[in-house]
């Protein structure tokens, strides 16, 4: 357990894009822990609050932050994230406004790598080249597009590669070794390991066989970090997964805990701190 304390809004970084992501994982590894990547839906419960939550998450010690771009048909997401997305959409959030929130977070000093997580339809509607360029301008280090299979990702990956940005790829428990190799080949930044065959959502227990599954992906990953998401909700989950993975993503549990709190930013700070500084 490290005694390191983060700076006001994340550790200072001079690197951007892929270099910033690599540096975040390297720092966490040097401190003997997994990199922590909380998720928050932009515009939830409103624009200003979501900005304050991002600041709080960074202050609490997040190594990276996944920024959810709300979409009306989030096929990989469970009820908690769906609800947050719908509230944000009902209040007028757009892709452009999401980018503005990210840029504001950078402007107030949030230094940790930001990963924009959005579905493919809005990317196509916005225009792939424009989408990547504008997210880079907003301060994102990379993109997560959960419904983009690796064999159809070349155009978007070329845009990301040209700007030194990551394009994350996924594996699932049902992935064959061939599919894992394909995801690893196309991935940049890190590989997102979906821990269960299902949608996002907090779970009481980690799935059986998770370590073996992660080791199977690591065998194909080369030097790319592997990060586990879906179902991570407690400090003990972070501690356990950190024994065999490079990072963890926490989404639904954080949204559920902080979203309806009287002060979502303070609640998010407390929740992320409990995950980051486990004993």
Question: What is the per-residue DSSP string for 161-191?
Answer: HHTT-EEEEEE-TT--HHHHHHHHHH--S-E
- Cβ atoms of 158 and 133 within 8 Å: the answer is no
Which of 11, 48, 55, 66 is flagged as catalytic?
66
Q: According to the 3-state scheme, what is the secondary structure of 73-94?
A: CCCCCCHHHHHHHHHHHHCCCC
Tell me if residue 240 is catalytic: no
Q: How many residues belong to the chain?
A: 279
Tell me if residue 66 is catalytic: yes
Which of 48, 55, 73, 77 is flagged as catalytic?
77
Strands (E), the chain: 35-41, 65-68, 114-117, 142-144, 166-171, 191-194, 226-229, 247-250
Maximum C-alpha span of the chain: 47
Which of 57, 81, 87 has its CA nearest to residue 146?
A: 81
Catalogue the active-site residues: 66, 77
């Amino acid at each position: 357990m490290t005694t390191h304390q983060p700076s006001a809004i994340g550790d200072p970084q001079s690197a951007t894009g892929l270099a910033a992501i690599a540096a975040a994982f390297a720092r966490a590894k040097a401190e003997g822990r997994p990199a922590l990547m909380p998720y928050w839906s932009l515009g939830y419960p409103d624009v200003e609050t979501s900005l304050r939550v991002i600041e709080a998450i960074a202050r609490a010690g997040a190594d990276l932050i996944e920024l959810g771009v709300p979409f009306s048909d989030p096929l990989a997401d469970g009820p908690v994230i769906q609800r947050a997305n719908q509230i944000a959409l009902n209040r007028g959030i757009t892709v452009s406004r999401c980018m503005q929130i990210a840029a504001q977070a950078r402007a107030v000093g949030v230094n940790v790598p930001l990963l924009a997580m959005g579905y493919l339809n809005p990317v196509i509607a916005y225009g792939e080249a424009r989408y990547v360029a504008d997210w880079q301008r907003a301060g994102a280090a990379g993109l997560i597009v959960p419904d983009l299979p690796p064999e159809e990702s070349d155009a978007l990956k070329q845009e990301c590669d040209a700007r030194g940005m990551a394009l994350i790829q996924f594996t699932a428990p049902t992935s064959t070794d061939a599919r894992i190799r394909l995801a690893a080949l196309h991935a940049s930044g890190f590989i997102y390991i979906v821990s269960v065959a299902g949608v996002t959502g907090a779970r009481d227990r980690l799935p059986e066989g998770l370590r073996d599954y992660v080791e199977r992906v690591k065998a194909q990953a080369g030097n790319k970090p592997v990060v586990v998401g879906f179902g991570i909700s407690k400090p003990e989950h972070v501690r356990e997964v950190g024994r065999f993975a490079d990072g963890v993503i926490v989404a639904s549990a954080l949204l559920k805990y902080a979203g309806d709190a009287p002060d979502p930013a303070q609640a998010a700070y407390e929740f992320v701190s409990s995950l980051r500084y486990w004993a």
